[in-house]
Amino acid sequence: MTINFIRHGKTAGNLEKRYIGITDEPLCEAGIAELKSIVCPACDIIVSSPMLRCLTTAALLYPHADVSVYEELRECDFGDFEGKNHIELNGNAAYQKWLDGGGLSAFPNGEDSTVFRARSVNGFLKAVSDHKTVSTISFIVHGGTIMSILERFAVPHREFYDYMIGNAHGFITEYDGEKIEITGNI
């Protein structure tokens, strides 16, 4: 099965490098303009996070495609860091502790990264199982969601942050039911 993983377009929070997880922020004008200039590979079905930024990205990239929404594919809850950027969090002891831990621990009053990754992987597996008769799926999701899925399934194995991808970009992959091979970029 060919799977295209595409990160949603830019939001105002993305432009300001804010932690935007559970905030249902719309795409900004720059994000919409960028998406209108992208030609994505064809697919049989779109799988999306329920967040507005993903649904709008899906509608812009694939205006005539059917979209299946999976709650499990939503972005991480950044807790006390939600809506803030590095500059605003500079000097915050909890933020420094999170950074010192490699950005892999639970967010204060937010979601544990292990729980988030498992949720993302489970959403991926559920979506693939639900659409096992199609040959190509485009996942329109969040950066963290893509990173979680690829960290678990991509070969050769790399770490979570090695799969960081910019807004409106992504990976073309082949999935054999056990592993993912990255074959190109979007």
Predicted local confidence at residue 124, as pLDDT: 98
Predicted local confidence at residue 104, as pLDDT: 78
Among the ranges given (75-89, 98-112, 117-131, 144-158), the one the predictor scored with the smallest mean pLDDT: 98-112
pLDDT band at 106 (very low <50, low <70, confident <90, very high): confident
- Asked whether the whole model's pTM tops 0.85, one would answer yes
The mean per-residue pLDDT over the stretch 129-157 comes to: 97
165: DSSP letter: -
Predicted local confidence at residue 32, as pLDDT: 98
Predicted local confidence at residue 93, as pLDDT: 93
Residues 106/83, Cβ–Cβ less than 8 Å: no
| Domain assignments of the chain as residue spans, ordered by start | 2-185
What does the alpha-carbon distance between residue 39 and residue 147 come to, in Å, rounded to a whole number?
22
Predicted local confidence at residue 105, as pLDDT: 81
Percentage of residues of the chain with pLDDT beyond 70: 100
What does the alpha-carbon distance between residue 186 and residue 130 come to, in Å, rounded to a whole number?
24
The architecture CATH gives domain 2-185: 3-Layer(aba) Sandwich (3.40)
The mean per-residue pLDDT over the stretch 56-77 comes to: 96
Predicted local confidence at residue 114, as pLDDT: 92
Predicted local confidence at residue 8, as pLDDT: 98
What does the alpha-carbon distance between residue 1 and residue 176 come to, in Å, rounded to a whole number?
6
